[in-house]
Amino acid sequence: MFFCKQLIIAAAGIILLSACAHKARIHLTDEITAPLLPISAAAVKTEEEYRHKMRVAYILEGREYNREFISALKLSPTKITTVALTTFVRLFTIEYSPAGISCETSPLLALPEGFIPEYILFDIQLIYYPADILNEFLPRGVKVIEKIEGALRSRYVCHGDDCFIKIVYKSGGSFSFTNELRKYSYTAERLP
Count of CA atoms in the C-beta half-sphere (13 A) of 51: 5
Q: Is 32 exposed, middle or buried (0-12, 13-18, 19+ CB in 10 A)?
A: middle
Which pTM was predicted?
0.77
How does DSSP classify residue 173? G
Give the helix, strand, coil percentages of the chain, each rounded to 5. 25, 45, 30
Predicted confidence at residue 105, as pLDDT, reads 82
What is the domain count for the chain?
1
Contact 142, 157 (CB under 8 A): yes
Contact 96, 85 (CB under 8 A): no
Predicted confidence at residue 190, as pLDDT, reads 92
Cα 178 to Cα 98, 99, 110, 149, 164, distances in angstroms: 28, 30, 26, 19, 8
Predicted confidence at residue 62, as pLDDT, reads 72
- Residue 34, C-beta contacts closer than 8 angstroms, at least 6 positions apart: 116, 118, 119, 122
Q: Which residues of the chain have pLDDT under 50?
A: 1-29, 112-113
Predicted confidence at residue 109, as pLDDT, reads 63
Query: Residue 136 sits in which domain range?
Result: 2-190
Q: What is the pLDDT of residues 80-104, one digit of tens each?
A: 999 988 777 888 899 999 888 898 8
Q: What is the C-alpha separation between 40 and 129, in angstroms, rounded?
A: 9
Predicted confidence at residue 174, as pLDDT, reads 92
Predicted confidence at residue 144, as pLDDT, reads 96
Predicted confidence at residue 27, as pLDDT, reads 37
Domain containing 101 — which CATH number? 2.50.20
- The identity of residue 121, as a single letter, is L
